Chain A
């Protein structure tokens, strides 16, 4: 049986897995101790639970439990990595390299770095959303201390060439940080094989709770340190003070364990559903997939439907919860900067929908979504003056549109 609206916005957040909630429940109730309380059983239980979660997470990304710094989420992890490296390695240099399609949680700290006197290079991406490795290497100077490139993009799911990037970083003695919020728990991420020095991720993108995340900080080859961005108590090896969110951490740990155990099975099922929806929706005339389909996460599809407007389309597909690259959905007036970075014109960026699938998405839901979107696009095109002009063979670029 279908219940509405159908949730297909799993790149924004995922539902909490019931198995995760079960694991968390004791720590939200009777096991409420502070993990820093060393002198009684309440504290010991909490600390044990946190240590166990550290092991579960370390096992998922192939690191040592000691290399996990718990935070409030990926945004904090991004801030801690970028600002923390900038401060810690100030004597080595002040230059950071990132990309234009990064999440705001990376771009905004980079802007902050620039205000603090640092220098930031923003690499462009190609029409598939991928950075150019030669441009990356050419951007490195003797002042470069950090390369910050996301593992996979949140809007289009495009996976960057992580191993190649880390090889370049290593060759030049530069640290490599990756915001892997969309990738961890969804595709195999191995900090050793991938050559990652710092990595941010969060609980709620992998069926865990909101308000908890982690920063992986490498301890060997090289030993990496970041300057704390919050003082008080010296928790998490002095890199992140603040009482640990024990239930959240337990949830993140359990989510990591389930991800490791179910990833292959989940991916096999989810990617088939994603591909089916995409294939069906691309039968709609003048519809296009945004970003690489070759190097892409298995659970996301970003499609533009030309000549219909994104927010109008969202209203037409009210039975499904998706997001749009349209300006109207955000506070800013600009359409998605990620889609624009791929070279999409504003109108195509406006007309995009992002579909995100989860381990809880069903075939029945996908069937419904396909028909629902097809009907909405057809209805809106019937109402669209641009569609009529296109059908009459009028070149829309030949029209002098009023500036407004």
Chain B
């Protein structure tokens, strides 16, 4: 299958690969997917006192589209408020990366990872976890 130029660019030059200190209170970590399914994403956000995401990092085990989806997600997260981050929809990722239908699940996983990281941050800071729609893949 042919990858789009944007997927190839993110794969070759992934943005924000790395690890944040998950012990810190202002760091939220989302770990989604499963090794048996062929993709696992770990996405982390660092949030300042104004609820702005100042840093985002990822590590992904998966195909090129999964790597690109999470790389793009970290790029989009930086500078956004937590509320703005919650509004990121998987179809935005699909559109930006021109993912084919068989790779839509990669974008869903990235959205799940964002929400899961935000929830981890919320729970750490005494806020109730948000009800997330059940993963749809």
Least CB distance from B2 to A in Å reads: 11
A335 touches B61 (CB 8 A): no
Residues of B contacting A401 in the complex (Cβ-Cβ under 8 angstroms): 33-36, 40
Instruction: List the count of A-B residue pairs having beta carbons below 8 Å apart.
Output: 87
Complex: A276 Cα to B88 Cα, angstroms: 48
Complex: A14 Cα to B112 Cα, angstroms: 43
CB < 8 Å: which of A315, A346, A386, A402 contacts B61? A386
CB < 8 Å: which of A307, A311, A316, A403 contacts B38? A311
Number of A residues whose C-beta is below 8 Å from B? 29
Residues of A contacting B35 in the complex (Cβ-Cβ under 8 angstroms): 345-347, 350, 386, 396, 401
B64 touches A403 (CB 8 A): no
B63 touches A346 (CB 8 A): no
Number of B residues whose C-beta is below 8 Å from A? 30
CB < 8 Å: which of B17, B38, B64 contacts A350? B38
* Chain B binder among A91-99, A195-203, A258-266, A377-385: A377-385
Least CB distance from A392 to B in Å reads: 10
Least CB distance from A385 to B in Å reads: 4
A315 touches B38 (CB 8 A): no
Interface flags for A309-338 (1: CB within 8 Å of B; 0: not) read 111100110000000001110000001000
Interface flags for A350-392 (1: CB within 8 Å of B; 0: not) read 1000000000000000000000000000000011111110000
When C-beta atoms are compared, the residue in chain B nearest to A326 turns out to be B38
B38 touches A383 (CB 8 A): no
Least CB distance from A372 to B in Å reads: 14
Complex: A263 Cα to B63 Cα, angstroms: 38
A403 touches B34 (CB 8 A): yes
Interface flags for B5-43 (1: CB within 8 Å of A; 0: not) read 000000100100101000000000001111111111110
A404 in contact with B64 given A345-B36, A382-B17, A383-B17 (CB within 8 Å): no
A384 touches B60 (CB 8 A): yes
When C-beta atoms are compared, the residue in chain A nearest to B59 turns out to be A385
Residues of A contacting B32 in the complex (Cβ-Cβ under 8 angstroms): 402, 404
Complex: A347 Cα to B33 Cα, angstroms: 12
CB < 8 Å: which of B40, B41, B64, B137 contacts A311? B64
A335 touches B59 (CB 8 A): no
With most chain B CB atoms within 10 A of its CB, the pick from A312, A396, A403 is A312
B76 at the interface (CB under 8 A from A): no
When C-beta atoms are compared, the residue in chain A nearest to B41 turns out to be A385
Least CB distance from B33 to A in Å reads: 7
Least CB distance from B56 to A in Å reads: 14
B135 touches A404 (CB 8 A): yes
B66 at the interface (CB under 8 A from A): yes
A165 at the interface (CB under 8 A from B): no
Interface residues of B (CB under 8 A from A): 3, 11, 14, 17, 19, 31-42, 59-64, 66-67, 105, 109, 112, 135, 137
Interface residues of A (CB under 8 A from B): 307-312, 315-316, 326-328, 335, 345-347, 350, 382-388, 396, 399, 401-404
Offer 18 A-B interface pairs, CB within 8 angstroms, sorted by A: A307-B61, A309-B61, A312-B11, A315-B11, A326-B63, A328-B63, A345-B35, A385-B40, A385-B60, A399-B31, A401-B33, A401-B34, A401-B36, A401-B40, A402-B33, A402-B34, A404-B105, A404-B137
